[in-house]
Structure 1
């Protein structure tokens, strides 16, 4: 559901801002520190009640202000747009209202599927496996409605098993009960992750072929344990070590998505610009697959698109964005770097921001 209007109150240095964005491409430009990324954060807050830059809300809300509020109208095709508002207090209270009804976070995520491409996106290659599991689980959440309940069940069982391990001595009968439930959830969540990655790979390879050349890139999903060994046997064999460590060392909580370039870790093999193209292809592939499965586009928040990319690859990136139906919010310092890359028929809106003040330009 593209955003047809947006009102922002008290997000970092944006005291108050309103805009009517294009349903396709929106370029937000201004000097460093002017509020470009803050505007993207505001949209992220609208979709997930939090920032993509900090886990502490007090740093997102304008200083000395008790709450932040972002309000939008979400387009509904031929039907009238519906209002969505997210308010969060510094005390921690969150209120989400959509079409005059209170909804929860899972419902909100379903309304406004967001994809962020920024410097943190490099963590898909350079960061810990937790970053890549989060990437997989975002897609699996939208890929299969059953995933969220399986994911929650697995987290609950894993937490309980780890609590037992920290106690040291475990009654064998109690351990068997929790191990049996752990294995059931582990197998199911792994099946859903595998199924999602299998669907994602063709889209990733097609997009990468458009953006990137110079190395053969391959994705490989590791479920978190050696599947040649039954998981119940593995849990039993590693029990003493797990008790000493105080946590479960094998299972879906150790899953990873390995990205290799010419058979070598892409994080070690590729240049900075090449890495940006690969991680962007991963994110764009998620949006493409989501649209094919749901019939709905994503909203892309792309921070400083031209950075790390030469003119040719910036143009290729923008060409691909034009081919999709996603709504994109793109920041840059100098709009001249992006003005010549779009086709004349592409609906592109430009907004200049200065010290938190936003104006539409041409």
Structure 2
């Protein structure tokens, strides 16, 4: 388990320079919208994964109009061995915004190495849309878990994406001769890796569902009436693998080759996968299994109910990381109370506190922040205003 003991950055979006010594428990970061409080979370995300969930273009992270290099540094303490790790990233406009990463003064050339050493869990407005948001969010949810739970998934995923890019490039060229000559190789590789990924995705969803049941059986959580059967067998995560059930992926790709050629991309495979949380309708609960009516909860649950179910999925994600591989991720929570009402927000915060993890959480309401803070637990409050960050003493 690694915790950030000091954090420094400069020329990071609206923050010209910042330095803070965070708590090992909860760190509340308060500021008006646009003040830069989310930028602090982004700096931690860049340090621990080499990327930002807000943009794929690193140039957008560098403060404008100054063309000074973005620098972010942190010292992390490993609680088990007591070692100090020094981590630094640099994005320099002069070097075409290339990301440079150093761990203990040694260059690291793959950002995935950061994610393996220093896992983090992000809870942000988009991650609270798992129930009815776009499929990309749910695919990212599965891939994120598999990256940590399955040691070979990163290579498997990389091989699949490489084969997918090659096949799509052939399809976009619309050269039937080249396609006929080369596509069989990429189709075979794509189908082989795709079948393996789909199997792992289905397995990880089964683990998520079991973890959800474990959570609701041990803690108090007000669930929608229609999914209260989560404590039993009346709820499932329906996996949709991205091609018709009962068919092999290679067969489908060969059959749909002309269709894909017209569209210019591969239309089947786990890159099109999705899942839905489904439940037996209360009116059909007493029916025989063959006559039970299954419905997606996104069709009839209220917005608040969907948020609670999102919370449940995120806690299951966190619980699996802790239990299965012993990971202790740093938790980044962005603008929680803009998405959740106070009761649900405080309930989630309490569950995160009980995990014993280091938490960085942004919010706009300074009065609410003071009410939530527990200084006796070593928790800290920081204020962001006009590009500066300062610690607020709370008695």
What is the TM-score normalised by the length of structure 2? 0.84
Give the corresponding residue for 2:85. 82
Write out per-residue CA displacement over residues 107-139 of structure 1, whole angstroms, 9 at most, x where no aligned residue.
011122122222222442343222211121111
Whole-angstrom CA distance in 2 between matches of 1:179 and 1:355: 54
Q: Kindly indicate whether the alpha-carbon contact (under 8 Å) linking 2:11 and 2:68 is maintained by their aligned counterparts in 1.
A: no
User: Which is further off, 272-281 or 13-22?
Assistant: 272-281
Q: Kindly indicate whether the alpha-carbon contact (under 8 Å) linking 1:273 and 1:308 is maintained by their aligned counterparts in 2.
A: no
The aligned length equals 362
User: Which is further off, 10-19 or 169-178?
Assistant: 169-178
Write out per-residue CA displacement over residues 175-197 of structure 1, whole angstroms, 9 at most, x where no aligned residue.
43332222211111122222222
Secondary structure in structure 2 of the residue aligned to 1:191: helix
Give the corresponding residue for 2:230. none
Q: Kindly indicate whether the alpha-carbon contact (under 8 Å) linking 2:223 and 2:308 is maintained by their aligned counterparts in 1.
A: no
User: Which is further off, 147-156 or 64-73?
Assistant: 64-73
Task: Choose the corresponding residue for 2:336, options 299, 305, 323.
Answer: 305
Map residues 90-169 of structure 1 onto 2, 5 A cutoff.
90=93, 91-103=96-108, 104-166=110-172, 167-169=174-176
Q: Kindly indicate whether the alpha-carbon contact (under 8 Å) linking 2:125 and 2:339 is maintained by their aligned counterparts in 1.
A: no
Give the corresponding residue for 1:25. 26
Secondary structure in structure 2 of the residue aligned to 1:243: helix
Whole-angstrom CA distance in 2 between matches of 1:211 and 1:340: 22
Question: Unpaired segments of 5 or more residues in structure 1?
Answer: none
Question: Unpaired segments of 5 or more residues in structure 2?
Answer: 228-234, 282-293
Give the corresponding residue for 1:334. 365
Q: Relative to structure 1, is the Cα distance of residues 15 and 203 closer, same or farther in structure 2, using a 3 angstrom cutoff?
A: same
Write out per-residue CA displacement over residues 315-361 of structure 1, whole angstroms, 9 at most, x where no aligned residue.
21122111113211111122432444566764311111211222212
Secondary structure in structure 1 of the residue aligned to 2:253: helix
User: How far did 1:238 drift?
Assistant: 1.6
What is the TM-score normalised by the length of structure 1? 0.91
User: How far did 1:29 drift?
Assistant: 0.9
Q: Kindly indicate whether the alpha-carbon contact (under 8 Å) linking 2:146 and 2:204 is maintained by their aligned counterparts in 1.
A: yes
Q: Relative to structure 1, is the Cα distance of residues 225 and 210 closer, same or farther in structure 2, using a 3 angstrom cutoff?
A: farther
What's the Cα RMSD here? 2.3
Write out per-residue CA displacement over residues 194-243 of structure 1, whole angstroms, 9 at most, x where no aligned residue.
22222222223444664441141642221111231222322222222122
Q: Relative to structure 1, is the Cα distance of residues 72 and 154 closer, same or farther in structure 2, using a 3 angstrom cutoff?
A: same
Give the corresponding residue for 2:11. 10
Whole-angstrom CA distance in 1 between matches of 2:34 and 2:184: 56
Give the corresponding residue for 2:197. 189
Q: Relative to structure 1, is the Cα distance of residues 288 and 347 closer, same or farther in structure 2, using a 3 angstrom cutoff?
A: farther
Whole-angstrom CA distance in 2 between matches of 1:244 and 1:34: 47
